[in-house]
Structure 1
Amino acid sequence: MLALPLLVLLATDAPAGPVAPRQVTPRQVTTAATGHVLANRDCWSADSRWLLYDLRTDETVFDGRRIERVEVDSGRVETLYEAPATAACGVPTGRGERVVFLRSPAEPTPDWAYAPWHRFGMTARRGERPTVLDARDLAPPLTPGALRGGTHLHTVSPDGRRVASTYEDHLLATGTGLPENRRVVAVTWPERRVAVSADHPRDQDGGFTVVATAVTDEPTPGSDEIARAYSDAWLPDSRRIAFFGEVRGAGGEAFSEVFVVDLPDEPTAAPGRPLEGTPTTRPNPPAGARQTRLTFIGAEPNPGVAASPRHWPVSSPAGEIAFLRRDADDRLRFCLVDRRGGPIRWLTNGRIEPTSAFTWSPDGARLAFVGDGSVCTVDVASGRVDRLTPPAEPGPTHHACVFSPDGTQIAYMQRVGAYDQLFVVDAATSGPEGEAR
Structure 2
Amino acid sequence: MLHHLTPGWLAFLGLLLAGEQQPMPIETQLTFDAKGHTLNNNQVFSPDDRWMVYDTRNIDTGLGQTSSIELFDVRTGKTSLLYRTTNQTEYGPGAGAVTFSPTEAKVLFLHGLRNADARYPYAMSRRTGVLVDVRQPQKPHFLDGRCLNPPFVPGALRGGTHAHQWSDDGQRISFTYNDEVMERLSQTNPTVKDLRTVGVLSPAHPVKVHDSNDADCFDGEWFATIITQVTERPTLGSDEIERAFDETWIGRTGYRKADGSWQKRAIAFQGNVRNRANQIVTEVFVADLPEDLTRAKPGQPLEGTATTRPNPPAGVTQRRITFTEQGVEGPRHWLRSLPDGSLIGFLAKDATGVVQIFGVSPNGGPIRQLTHQPFSIQTTFNFSPDGKQVAYTADNSIFVTDLANGNYRRLTPRSADEQRPINAVVWSNKGDKIVYNRYVSTAAGRYIQLFQLTGF
Matches within 5 A, 1:37-76: 37-62=38-63, 63-76=65-78
Letter aligned with residue 195 of structure 1:
K
Letter aligned with residue 291 of structure 2:
D
Structure 1 partner of 2:399: 376
Kindly provide the CA deviation profile for residues 338-386 of structure 1, in whole angstroms up to 9, marking residues without a partner as x: 1221100112224132101111111000001011111110110111111
Q: How many Å separate the matches in 2 of 1:89 and 1:391?
A: 33
Shift in alpha-carbon separation, 1:351–1:146, aligned structure 2, 3 A: same
> Aligned to 1:89, which of 88, 95, 101?
95
Shift in alpha-carbon separation, 1:390–1:174, aligned structure 2, 3 A: same
Superposition TM-score, scaled by structure 1 size: 0.89
Please state if 1:247 is matched with 2:282. Answer: no
Q: How many Å separate the matches in 2 of 1:25 and 1:127?
A: 32
Kindly provide the CA deviation profile for residues 200-219 of structure 1, in whole angstroms up to 9, marking residues without a partner as x: 75111012111110001111
Please state if 1:261 is matched with 2:276. Answer: no
Q: How many Å separate the matches in 1 of 2:18 and 2:239?
A: 37
> Aligned to 2:80, which of 70, 75, 78?
78
> Aligned to 1:131, which of 120, 126, 141?
141
Kindly provide the CA deviation profile for residues 265-313 of structure 1, in whole angstroms up to 9, marking residues without a partner as x: 1121000000000011111000111111111113xxxx1011x311111
Q: How many Å separate the matches in 1 of 2:100 and 2:385?
A: 16
Q: How many Å separate the matches in 2 of 1:347 and 1:79?
A: 39
Cα deviation, residue 328, structure 1: 2.8
Q: How many Å separate the matches in 2 of 1:203 and 1:289?
A: 27
Which piece of structure 1 moves more, 390-399 or 136-145?
390-399
Secondary structure at the aligned position of 2:434 is classed as strand
Judge conservation of contact 1:163–1:189 (CA < 8 Å) in 2: yes
Cα deviation, residue 126, structure 1: 5.3
Shift in alpha-carbon separation, 1:26–1:355, aligned structure 2, 3 A: same
Judge conservation of contact 1:185–1:230 (CA < 8 Å) in 2: yes
Q: How many Å separate the matches in 2 of 1:93 and 1:270?
A: 32
Shift in alpha-carbon separation, 1:190–1:80, aligned structure 2, 3 A: farther
Please state if 1:356 is matched with 2:379. Answer: yes
Secondary structure at the aligned position of 1:182 is classed as coil
Q: How many Å separate the matches in 1 of 2:19 and 2:154?
A: 55
Judge conservation of contact 2:422–2:438 (CA < 8 Å) in 1: no
Matches within 5 A, 1:40-189: 40-62=41-63, 63-86=65-88, 87-95=93-101, 96-97=103-104, 98-125=106-133, 127=135, 129-175=139-185, 176-177=188-189, 179-189=192-202
Letter aligned with residue 317 of structure 1:
P
Cα deviation, residue 249, structure 1: 1.0
Cα deviation, residue 21, structure 1: 7.2
Structure 2 partner of 1:205: 219
Cα deviation, residue 189, structure 1: 1.4
Structure 1 partner of 2:450: 422
> Aligned to 2:335, which of 310, 313, 317?
313
Residue identity (%): 39
Cα deviation, residue 109, structure 1: 3.1
Which piece of structure 1 moves more, 69-78 or 410-419?
69-78
Matches within 5 A, 1:375-414: 375-393=398-416, 394-414=418-438
Cα deviation, residue 22, structure 1: 5.7
Cα deviation, residue 255, structure 1: 1.1
Shift in alpha-carbon separation, 1:23–1:127, aligned structure 2, 3 A: closer
Kindly provide the CA deviation profile for residues 116-160 of structure 1, in whole angstroms up to 9, marking residues without a partner as x: 000111014454532112111000111111110001011111111
Q: Unpaired segments of 5 or more residues in structure 2? A: 1-16, 255-264
Cα deviation, residue 190, structure 1: 3.9
Judge conservation of contact 2:23–2:455 (CA < 8 Å) in 1: no
Judge conservation of contact 2:397–2:421 (CA < 8 Å) in 1: no
Cα deviation, residue 58, structure 1: 1.2
Cα deviation, residue 223, structure 1: 0.9
Structure 2 partner of 1:9: none
Q: How many Å separate the matches in 2 of 1:19 and 1:171?
A: 60
What is the number of equivalent residue pairs in this alignment? 408
Q: How many Å separate the matches in 1 of 2:346 and 2:21?
A: 22
Cα deviation, residue 112, structure 1: 2.3
Secondary structure at the aligned position of 2:336 is classed as coil
Letter aligned with residue 428 of structure 2:
S
Matches within 5 A, 1:218-257: 218-236=233-251, 237=253, 239-257=265-283
> Aligned to 2:300, which of 258, 273, 276?
273
Judge conservation of contact 1:18–1:384 (CA < 8 Å) in 2: no
- RMSD of aligned C-alpha atoms? 1.9
Please state if 1:333 is matched with 2:356. Answer: yes
Secondary structure at the aligned position of 2:267 is classed as strand
Q: How many Å separate the matches in 1 of 2:118 and 2:184?
A: 13
Superposition TM-score, scaled by structure 2 size: 0.86
Secondary structure at the aligned position of 1:116 is classed as coil
Kindly provide the CA deviation profile for residues 40-89 of structure 1, in whole angstroms up to 9, marking residues without a partner as x: 00001112222110001211111221111112242111211111122321
